A and B are shown apart, each in its own frame.
Chain A
């Protein structure tokens, strides 16, 4: 990219990951972001807050999640040993609850009674609605109408949990548009409302805070790996939408420079702009820019208009990416690849039929990369996949895309 398309960092700017991150928001939100930053810093140091979070993560959410050796998949692929970090087994079915619970407790501590959130796949919306039910808070979730259609079950779940789901029909009616609308709500109701952002995105302190609430994934996995294998994994694979499950799975391994970190973006149905959500793709991918409060790689046209995106998985279907991933990309500490819709769908079937585990379509992108990679690795290598969520929510899409009725018949 050209030097002219970078923002030069000021010494005083907060929340930087190398050149990326920062705070690019309407002034009306600045007082709220400063209040949030301060409240979060205090909560982090408060043993009572940490103890309540830990207790609920354990007794309510089911942490620690298992690190499972996928023996049949490993044998079938004939290469590296594959382990799955089972975030899909968490309460509500995805890693998202780690963050929603942390922020929910923080909101209550700050005395905010009204919670808003955006959601793409609906998992963050469900997690936030769940935490609001648990803590007795009012909950409004913004969701693109396109996503409401393709993740309909999660819409019903949110409503059942007592949340109000507001459909957003602007733009491509997906995650980006839901975030715009949530931010408009926040600007309007900033004095009473807490915004539970669902990925490692947005203005400081969100990318840091969201990452911290997901660090538990790699903290557990690192210890489990040492216990079960006696060594660290060769590589870790995670899907990257906004980047929360991936940064959670990578973070405690960052100093272990022998451990390769691989993020998998949505390759969609092609490499042209608009056909995918692969921000780090070399040609037809993103360039650094500002979207929704943060400076990171953004899929956009040459006039700086944000481009539309496509992915079979609503959770990966987003034009930008968390700023910490932008830094890890540029430094080379992590590498980013993409996986097509078709490969993700195929991986969903493979994991279901070899291990009896139905992954979320988002997580299936990471599984697909592991399936591609494992046979190229030695049998002594260890590949860890962060299985960020379970796929029940995707049954409508899967039934359509995989022609499940047909395959039932042919099998007799």
Chain B
């Protein structure tokens, strides 16, 4: 259990936990791992996902409406850990559900579930002291986002406190699919590279094998989110795991 990219590019698969339901998310995650995903990002559904585009907004809304809670996502993480001891496992959440549980309790429970790392969308480095302390106490990797708009001084601070990998946002904007990998992405990865030896994963808008190949030319891993969530949205639950498995397998060919 560690965040490790054995091949290049590594694949990180984002799934909104509980969409369409928790059991299906589990099956999809297992299929994704078995078909080449190095890391699974389990998204905690939130009522107000202000960094997300329409696809993940809709998934989040469906999961919240089903009553999926942070505690359910922790349970799901534990199941995945038991089933696939070697896979990378990251929780991806907005801050409020974590604050409501309590930062200390959250980090302890995440560690107990066997999670490797955590990414909090609306947690910036300057506000992160307690978070970093608790993460360290529980040997969890804090993963931060780096943006094309972040000046070098911020990239340096982000690199200094990140573990596992650094999440480079491919373009300014919210999550969602796009036609091409944005020109912003390679420049950002090059700037980040000055400050860290950690793997750098590129996300936002990475939707197909062509994008993954483009990312492999300048970064260590590609993060696929909205493309998976959109595919899950239009696939019957019973077929979702095999469809996503095939899709992931097709990304690195």
Residue positions of A touching B, CB distance < 8 A? 2, 4-5, 7-8, 10-14, 22-32, 170-171, 176, 179-180, 183-184, 187-191, 287-293, 295, 298, 300, 302-306
Contacts and interface: CB of A to CB of B under 8 A. Distances in A.
Contacts of B95: 24, 290
Given A187-B174, A191-B172, A26 B145 contact: yes
User: 8 tightest CB-CB pairs across the interface, nearest first?
Assistant: A4-B102, A304-B100, A304-B97, A10-B129, A28-B147, A303-B69, A188-B173, A8-B130
Interface residues of B, number: 48
Contacts of A300: 96, 100
Given A4-B104, A184-B50, A303-B69, A22 B172 contact: no
A190 B57 CA distance: 21
A27 B48 contact: no
B127 A23 contact: yes
A31 B149 contact: yes
A12 B96 contact: no
A98 B151 CA distance: 33
Interface of B: 46-51, 53, 57, 61, 64, 69-71, 94-105, 121-124, 126-130, 144-151, 154, 158, 169, 172-174
A208 to B, nearest CB: 16
Counting chain B CB atoms within 10 Å of each CB, the highest count among A22, A293, A306 belongs to A306
A30 B150 contact: yes
B144 A10 contact: no
A14 B127 CA distance: 9
Counting chain B CB atoms within 10 Å of each CB, the highest count among A27, A189, A305 belongs to A27
Given A14-B126, A23-B126, A23-B127, A7 B46 contact: no
Counting chain A CB atoms within 10 Å of each CB, the highest count among B99, B103, B104, B128 belongs to B99
Given A5-B99, A31-B154, A293-B122, A191 B130 contact: no
21 contacts: A4-B102, A4-B103, A4-B105, A7-B127, A10-B127, A13-B126, A14-B126, A26-B145, A30-B124, A184-B51, A188-B174, A287-B100, A290-B122, A291-B96, A292-B48, A300-B100, A303-B100, A304-B100, A304-B101, A306-B47, A306-B48
B48 A304 contact: no
A183 B146 CA distance: 18
B147 A24 contact: no
Given A300-B96, A303-B100, 9 more contacts: A10-B128, A26-B50, A27-B150, A179-B50, A184-B51, A189-B172, A289-B100, A292-B50, A304-B70
Contacts of B49: 180
Given A22-B127, A31-B150, A305 B64 contact: yes
B100 A302 contact: yes
Contacts of A295: 99
Contacts of B130: 7-8, 10
Contacts of A187: 51, 172-174
B48 A171 contact: yes
B99 A30 contact: no
B149 A32 contact: yes
B147 to A, nearest CB: 4
Contacts of A288: 99
Contacts of B64: 305
Contacts of A30: 124, 147, 149-150, 154
B18 to A, nearest CB: 12
A26 B172 CA distance: 10
A180 B46 CA distance: 12
A2 B103 CA distance: 12
A174 to B, nearest CB: 12
A297 to B, nearest CB: 12
B50 A180 contact: yes
Contacts of A5: 99-100, 102
A229 B81 CA distance: 71
Contacts of A171: 47-48
A25 B97 contact: no
Contacts of B149: 28-32, 190-191
A258 B94 CA distance: 41
Contacts of A11: 129
B121 A26 contact: yes
Nearest to A307: B47
B182 to A, nearest CB: 12
Given A8-B130, A31-B154, A188-B173, A26 B97 contact: no
Contacts of A304: 46, 70, 96-101
Contacts of B123: 24
Contacts of B150: 27-28, 30-31
Nearest to A32: B149
A302 B101 CA distance: 8
Nearest to B105: A4
Contacts of B101: 4, 304
